[in-house]
């Protein structure tokens, strides 16, 4: 991964390689500004009239995960990948927490016999989004703002529309762009991959080439609408042939019922993305940077044409007009939104009554939940060096969530603070086997 660099006044410079960052630190010309993502600050240089190469932030918004790619433009619509990120949202947790809070509040207020109803005195402003949806927009914009502090960004690109709804509703639509264009079929295929979980609908096999299959055979009057399309592996597609799905799955009634229900079920995740895409785009425009937009079908076409594997971060690198993508074999930093804790100091039972109390102080022995720590355990079953996110306990024995799993019951005496909690958890994941980062922490940490 590229290392973000700041000058001595805190102004962003062009990122450098891990090797160069290590040399700057060893020679005393730089200091560690931030550990994850890794940022260094120079001690002997100030950017007065530095010339920067064009750097773009590319976004692939998703319901659960948003891919972020920081790329350097190389000319002729080519890009070189500098850093890859995958931002994991917690919209589902927010929705569940609000539902539980609403139920508990309703139970408590049910005892107030003469309390006047107040459901008609609350109005929502124009453009209002539910908290679980607004969280996605706010989190992405927060990381765009962070990246702009660490790298001289000149433009942004966003995958604005996930699917071309007009083409999916009427695949026979006239027009050369749909019938003979380079994106022909990609919008529908991408939609079906999301809808059917990227696996065969008939046998459930994954990680294999999948064909489009008509649930009601086209030879017997079936249409090309997406409600009549599914995904099938080559063996299942061959065995089914022109049979109706009722005949093909006559001995598997449960699977038949599930397929028929899934065929008409809308995409909840796609609905969440469609609800937030314009809000995110309008927020990006407030940054004052030039914004480029593209469709999900074009992103997939770019990725397939360039032979790049499927990940959220690499999808972001392929957003927009792209002729070539280089240096994409980099590890991806997974950023998981965890929040900064909760004001709720009690545990409640199913009826909304308190069943236990949490500790009142947030900091224990100088640590708090979410801090990045390095635990050096000298003896015992847990002997070794463990680096990760800590969960504090009042008695001073903590849990550390590392990239290899959870390490329980580590004394605070063995822990050393690396970075304060900022509401996110971090994990470095190789893009493919054998691609690891040699340097993402300071060598002395």
d(CA 391, CA 367): 9
Does residue 174 register a pLDDT over 60?
A: no
420 by Cβ neighbours in 10 Å (0-12 / 13-18 / 19+) ranks as: exposed
What's residue 68's pLDDT? 95
pLDDT, tens digit, for every residue of 403-435? 788 999 999 999 999 989 888 988 888 865 444
Q: What is the pTM of this model?
A: 0.75
What's residue 332's pLDDT? 93
Return the higher-pLDDT residue of 238 and 171: 238
Does residue 162 register a pLDDT over 80?
A: no
What's residue 44's pLDDT? 84
Smallest CA-to-CA distance from 209 within 232, 181, 178, 175 is with 232
pLDDT, tens digit, for every residue of 68-114? 999 999 888 899 999 999 999 998 889 888 888 887 777 777 776 77
Domains of the chain are 3-90+130-152+287-337 (no CATH), 359-422 (2.30.30)
d(CA 132, CA 371): 25
Compute CA distances 150 → 25, 119, 354, 385, whole Å: 17, 46, 45, 29
pLDDT, tens digit, for every residue of 135-161? 999 999 999 999 999 999 999 999 886
Assess contact for 281 and 121: CB atoms under 8 A.
no
pLDDT, tens digit, for every residue of 347-365? 777 776 778 888 888 889 9
Structure tokens at 83: 């850093």
d(CA 96, CA 342): 14
């Amino acid at each position: 991964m590229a290392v973000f660099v700041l000058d001595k006044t805190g102004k962003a410079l062009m990122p450098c390689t891990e090797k160069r960052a290590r040399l700057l630190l060893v020679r005393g010309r730089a200091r560690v500004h931030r550990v994850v993502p890794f940022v260094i600050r120079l001690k002997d240089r100030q950017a007065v009239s530095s010339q920067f190469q064009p750097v773009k932030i590319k976004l692939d918004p998703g319901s659960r995960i948003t891919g972020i790619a920081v790329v350097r433009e190389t000319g002729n619509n080519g890009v070189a990948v500098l850093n890859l990120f995958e931002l994991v949202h917690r919209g589902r947790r927010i929705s569940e927490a609000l539902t539980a809070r609403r139920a508990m509040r309703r139970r408590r207020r049910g005892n107030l016999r003469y309390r006047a109803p107040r459901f008609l005195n609350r109005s929502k402003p124009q453009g209002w989004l539910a908290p679980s949806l607004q969280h996605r927009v706010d989190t992405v914009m927060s990381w765009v703002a962070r990246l702009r502090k660490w790298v001289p960004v000149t433009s942004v690109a966003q995958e604005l529309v996930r699917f071309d709804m007009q083409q999916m509703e009427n695949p026979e639509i006239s027009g050369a762009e749909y019938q003979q264009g380079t994106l022909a079929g990609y919008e529908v295929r991408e939609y079906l991959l999301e809808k059917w979980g990227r696996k065969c609908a008939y046998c459930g096999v994954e990680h294999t080439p999948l064909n489009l299959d008509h649930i009601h055979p086209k030879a017997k009057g079936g249409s090309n609408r997406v409600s009549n399309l599914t995904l099938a592996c080559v063996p299942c597609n061959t065995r089914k042939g022109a049979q109706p799905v009722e005949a093909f799955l006559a001995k598997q009634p449960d699977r038949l019922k599930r397929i028929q229900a899934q065929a008409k079920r809308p995409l909840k995740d796609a609905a969440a993305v469609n609800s937030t895409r314009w809000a995110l785009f309008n927020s990006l425009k407030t940054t004052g940077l030039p914004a480029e937009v593209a469709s999900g079908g074009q992103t997939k076409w770019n990725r397939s044409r360039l032979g790049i594997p499927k990940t959220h971060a690499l999808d972001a690198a392929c957003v927009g007009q792209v002729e070539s993508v280089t240096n994409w074999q980099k590890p991806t930093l997974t950023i998981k939104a965890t929040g900064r804790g909760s004001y709720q100091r009690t545990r409640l039972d199913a009826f909304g009554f308190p069943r236990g109390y949490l500790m009142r102080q947030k900091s224990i022995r100088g640590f708090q939940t979410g801090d990045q720590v390095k635990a050096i355990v000298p003896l015992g079953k847990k002997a070794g060096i463990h680096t990760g996110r800590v969960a504090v306990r009042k008695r001073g024995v903590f849990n550390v969530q590392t990239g290899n799993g959870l390490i329980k019951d580590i004394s605070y005496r063995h822990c050393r603070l690396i970075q304060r909690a900022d509401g996110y958890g971090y994990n470095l994941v190789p893009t493919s086997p054998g691609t690891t980062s040699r340097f993402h922490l300071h060598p002395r940490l």
